[in-house]
Amino acid sequence: MKIGILGTGRVARTLGGGFSTRGHDVYLGSRDVIRVTSDTSGESSFNAWHASYPDVKLVTLKQAASEGDLVVNATDGPGSLSALREAGEDRFGSKVLIDVADPLDWSHGFPPSLTVCNADSLGEQIQRALPNVKVVKALNTVHNPIMVNPRLVGGGDHTTFLSGDDLAAKAYVAKLLRTEFGWEDVVDLGDIRTARGTEMMLLLWAELSAALQTPMFNLKLVR
Amino acid sequence: MKIGILGTGRVARTLGGGFSTRGHDVYLGSRDVIRVTSDTSGESSFNAWHASYPDVKLVTLKQAASEGDLVVNATDGPGSLSALREAGEDRFGSKVLIDVADPLDWSHGFPPSLTVCNADSLGEQIQRALPNVKVVKALNTVHNPIMVNPRLVGGGDHTTFLSGDDLAAKAYVAKLLRTEFGWEDVVDLGDIRTARGTEMMLLLWAELSAALQTPMFNLKLVR
């Protein structure tokens, strides 16, 4: 499968590496390919990461949106809408877009706040901006290594949530999370509006990261 | 121990009944004792509940705040600040106040929104309104029967969170939750600011209640 991932940061790299390792063709889309590949800051640079995943293709946002059978928004939440606009609505057609971004504003330091919440969410904003796309909010409540390897925490015995208006798209994403990454408990919350719930959980997530002194945790839904 | 509970709704009754059953003297505080006892609406009325817990005393907000060695805010979140004002700052002294309220606005139907969130919280507002009181936010992320009986869900194998500025007050509340109600995993998130996290989780809580068609669930922190 061809997977277009918007973004080249840590979340995009983790998802890109995860899908590539499992045999998919991954296209990582950047706003500025030259800048990304000019970074010589060492171990944390894109080039250093890319050396371990040479099969992943670095392309523009437009190309990543065009090439992917499935597209993932892994850009920084506050910049997601402008990145999607730059990719171009026509490139997405009626594809499934997995949105893993959180609208976290860290500009005032810790704790972060959300740039949108309560009566709206980033997931809903993206769905409104791309009305033909099937947006599925997913994986946005866990640290990125856990996204592609839930067994890193508690043997994988914890929960991830889906929000989206298209039932078939959610079923497809749920199956993908189970078969590709080993997620055991994938809970469908309802339509894209329910993304308010998982995005607003990020403040608890941030406080837990601080209290536990590690982001390597997750929550399990206990019925 | 004498426990003052502000409120006479379902949450206040559950906590009042829970503490009373465990041998404590409970004072439920109402804005309007006459109105509460005049309700003859049947099974869901205060009188019907009170018949099962005759040892619980129905008093004014001022009396509940005065009598309690420990005070619990179980009023409706959007009305909590005015209820605390009516009880009177002088009645609280420097007591511990457990705040279980959530600032949920249901006036537009489902889903609810929060009357305060993101850069502030009800817990912080209460601490600012009562600067000498030791506010501990607790139990606000579970349906009220679970507050006093966590074993109702998953054998009690799930988590509750504390937020508050006073370490000794939080240690006291953590012990109370463990010994009185059987909570096994009580996580101290940090100062009262962290109440933003647990209050903002209520939108996920509401969506989960709808998706699962029951409020009888909780989340477990998996490290």
pLDDT in tens, B108-127: 999 999 999 999 999 999 99
Is A200 domain-assigned? Answer: yes
Q: Which residues of A touch B188 (CB under 8 A)?
A: 211
CA atoms within 13 A of residue A8's CA, in its CB half-sphere: 27
Q: Which residues of A touch B207 (CB under 8 A)?
A: 189-190, 194, 196-197
For the segment B170-193, what is each residue's pLDDT rounded down to a tens digit?
Answer: 999 999 999 999 999 999 999 999
Q: Are the Cβ atoms of A118 and B117 closer than 8 angstroms?
A: yes
Is A223 domain-assigned? Answer: no
Which residue is it, tokens 């009598």?
B67
What's the full length of chain A, in residues?
223
Q: Note the pLDDT of residue B41.
A: 80
Q: Note the pLDDT of residue B42.
A: 83
The residue among B207, B209, B218 with the most chain A CBs within 10 A of its CB, best to mutate, is: B207
Q: Does pTM top 0.80 for this prediction?
A: yes
Is A218 domain-assigned? Answer: no
- Residues (pLDDT < 50) of chain B are none
Question: For every one of its 223 residues, what pLDDT tens digit does chain A have, with 9 covering 90 and above?
Answer: 999 999 999 999 999 999 999 999 999 999 999 999 998 888 889 999 999 999 999 999 999 999 999 999 999 999 999 999 999 999 999 999 999 999 999 999 999 999 999 999 999 999 999 999 999 999 999 999 999 999 999 999 999 999 999 999 999 999 999 999 999 999 999 999 999 999 999 999 999 999 999 999 999 999 9
Q: Please report the sign of the dihedral spanned by the C-alpha atoms of residue B202, residue B206, residue B208, residue B214.
A: positive
Domain that holds residue B71: 2-212
Cis peptide before A145 (omega within 30 of 0): no
- A173-195: b (≥16 Cβ within 10 Å) or e: bbebbeebbebeebebbbbbbbb
Question: Minimal Cα–Cα distance from A201 to chain B, Å?
Answer: 5
Is B206 domain-assigned? Answer: yes
Instruction: Report how many domains make up chain B.
Output: 1
Q: A-side interface with B, Cβ within 8 Å? A: 111, 113-114, 117-119, 153-154, 157-159, 161, 187-190, 193-194, 196-198, 200-201, 203-208, 210-212, 214, 216-223
Residue in chain B closest to A195 (alpha carbons) equals: B204
Is A18 domain-assigned? Answer: yes
Identify the CATH number of the domain in which residue B86 sits. Answer: 3.40.50.720
Is B35 domain-assigned? Answer: yes
Contact of B61 with B29, CB cutoff 8 Å? yes
Contact of A165 with A191, CB cutoff 8 Å? yes
Q: Note the pLDDT of residue B40.
A: 81
For the segment A161-218, what is each residue's pLDDT rounded down to a tens digit?
Answer: 999 999 999 999 999 999 999 999 999 999 999 999 999 999 999 999 999 999 999 9
| ipTM of this predicted structure | 0.96
State how far the alpha carbon of A60 is from the alpha carbons of A23, A29, B30, B48, B91, in Å: 22, 5, 63, 67, 64
Of B121, B150, B144, the C-alpha closest to B72 is B144
Which residue is it, tokens 């590539």?
A20
Q: Are the Cβ atoms of A197 and B216 closer than 8 angstroms?
A: no
Residue A112 token pair: 């972060």
Q: Are the Cβ atoms of A117 and B200 closer than 8 angstroms?
A: yes
Is A105 domain-assigned? Answer: yes
Q: B-side interface with A, Cβ within 8 Å? A: 111, 113-114, 117-119, 153-154, 157-159, 161, 187-190, 193-194, 196-198, 200-201, 203-208, 210-212, 214, 216-223
Q: Which residues of A touch B153 (CB under 8 A)?
A: 222-223
Q: Are the Cβ atoms of A220 and B219 closer than 8 angstroms?
A: yes
- A66-92: b (≥16 Cβ within 10 Å) or e: bbbebbbbbbbbbebbebbebbeeebb
Q: Provide the 10 A C-beta neighbour count for residue B36.
A: 17
Question: Minimal Cα–Cα distance from A159 to chain B, Å?
Answer: 9
Is A74 domain-assigned? Answer: yes
